[in-house]
Structure 1
Amino acid sequence: MPRSVSGVEMRKRQAAHIEAPPQVPGQPRPNTCCLCWCGCCKCLWSEDRMERSERQTCTKMDSIEAAEEHVSCRRHPSLDEVLSWSRSFEMMLRSLEGREIFREFLRSEYSEDNLLFWLACDELKKETDPSVVDEKARIIYEDYVSILSPKEVSLDSRVREGINQSLAEPSSLMYEEAQLQIYTLMHRDSFPRFLNSSVYRDLLANRRRTCLDT
């Protein structure tokens, strides 16, 4: 007679016949998390993460910063252009290549936000749509004027108070005085050091070598 099978052994044999559902070739693996291997239920953690991702919007001056970062797409400035920057801060600031090399220097001095604030104010001046002006004005305030921002620029109390009063009815020119103050700060303080920095001198030497080679 065959030996009787114990309850424990019977359960082992039954378990051995249970297999995971076969995966169809080319079919993507179910979206799972560490708590739900088979994906048979919805993972609240995953849903929450996806919802947060979808809520993210462009609330900063990303377009300005991104535009300034695409250095590889730009032409190399000529020797005459690089020399002209040393004679005119305004000319350098209005040059795309000039701003980038100046920004590189400011970054080394942890004062890059001064230039970004100036650029953001310049962009605001071009806006005519009241709703866009309102949004950009708020973003500039949160990014560069608020004392809670890590990128706060240095403005005197009088200019800061004027900005606070203008927030009730934002305009495209509400940061004009603040922009001028930061412009003056960069011109008088950062620009002379920039001209004596290795960043500018190396670029100037490179342009001169290029001219000699040609």
Structure 2
Amino acid sequence: MGSERKEIRKRQMSIAQGPPGAARGQNAGGNRGSNACCFCWCCCCSCSCLTVRNQEEQKPKQASRELKIDLPTSEESASPTLEEVNAWAQSFDKLMITPAGRNTFREFLRTEFSEENMLFWMACEELKTEANKTMIEEKARIIYDDYISILSPKEVSLDSGVREVINKNMLEPSQDIFDDAQLQIYTLMHRDSYPRFMTSALYKDLLQSLSEKSI
């Protein structure tokens, strides 16, 4: 009887424990479940969620590659001649009509920390040559952000009436949206900066240098 009880007890214990490797199989199944795609926690697997994640991370980079338009901030010009430099003293219009005159005057404005006036005027001239409606709208927005917005460090000085008209017209900008503002800045440079330019060392040195070369 004692031996039979021992045998029965062994059978009960073996049934309770289950077949060999059963626990191991359950653990393996649990590991597979934890590796399911939606529960990934590392970057060592090649599941589909990582592909989606990489695509999402690339979206901001692709968005940052949108069309960017750079308005001209300089223009090529030959060195001014003595005749041209002498003509600059006759009128502001003759100074502004030549690239060499604009570049030299812009160099002077930079010393007075008012270069943005010339840059704005040049940007407006560039806008007038544009025929594509989409490009006109984009360039107008850039000019507004750079020179009209009160938040811009390069804001030009305009009266409130001109600003109000520009703000309304920005809903559908055209080539001539900044005409009034451009004229106002042109007049400001003429009356304020031009007289000082004509008596500046920059202009006098340039005139003297060209005069000596001609001799």
State the distance in 1 between where 2:137 and 2:87 align.
Answer: 37
State the distance in 2 between where 1:202 and 1:56 align.
Answer: 46
- Identify the residue that residue 58 of structure 1 maps to in structure 2: 68
- Identify the residue that residue 44 of structure 2 maps to in structure 1: none
Identity among equivalent pairs (%)? 52
> Does structure 2 conserve the Cα–Cα contact (< 8 Å) formed by 1:60 and 1:143?
no
Q: In the alignment, is residue 106 of structure 1 matched against residue 121 of structure 2?
A: no
1:80 pairs, out of 78, 83, 94, with 83
Q: How many residues align?
A: 159
* Superposition RMSD in Å: 2.2
2:127 pairs, out of 108, 117, 124, with 124
2:182 pairs, out of 179, 184, 187, with 179
Taking a change above 3 Å as real, the CA distance of residues 178 and 185 of structure 1, as seen in their structure-2 partners, is same
Kindly provide the amino acid, as one letter, of the partner of residue 155 in structure 2.
E
State the distance in 1 between where 2:68 and 2:87 align.
Answer: 36
Q: Post-superposition, which runs of at least 4 consecutive aligned residues in structure 1 deviate over 4 A?
A: none
- Identify the residue that residue 169 of structure 2 maps to in structure 1: 166
State the distance in 1 between where 2:203 and 2:186 align.
Answer: 19
Kindly provide the amino acid, as one letter, of the partner of residue 183 in structure 2.
L
State the distance in 1 between where 2:204 and 2:137 align.
Answer: 41
> Does structure 2 conserve the Cα–Cα contact (< 8 Å) formed by 1:142 and 1:149?
yes
Q: Deviations over 1:167-206 (max 9, x none)?
A: 0110101100000000000000000000010111110000
Q: In the alignment, is residue 143 of structure 1 matched against residue 146 of structure 2?
A: yes
Q: In the alignment, is residue 208 of structure 1 matched against residue 211 of structure 2?
A: yes
Displacement of 1:77: 1.5
- Identify the residue that residue 133 of structure 1 maps to in structure 2: 136
Larger Rg: 2
Runs of 5+ consecutive residues of structure 2 not aligned to the other structure: 1-53
State the distance in 2 between where 1:201 and 1:87 align.
Answer: 15
Displacement of 1:56: 7.4
Displacement of 1:79: 0.8
* Between structures 1 and 2, the one with greater helix share: 2
Matched residue SS, 2:89: helix
| TM-score under structure 2 length normalisation | 0.68
Runs of 5+ consecutive residues of structure 1 not aligned to the other structure: 1-43
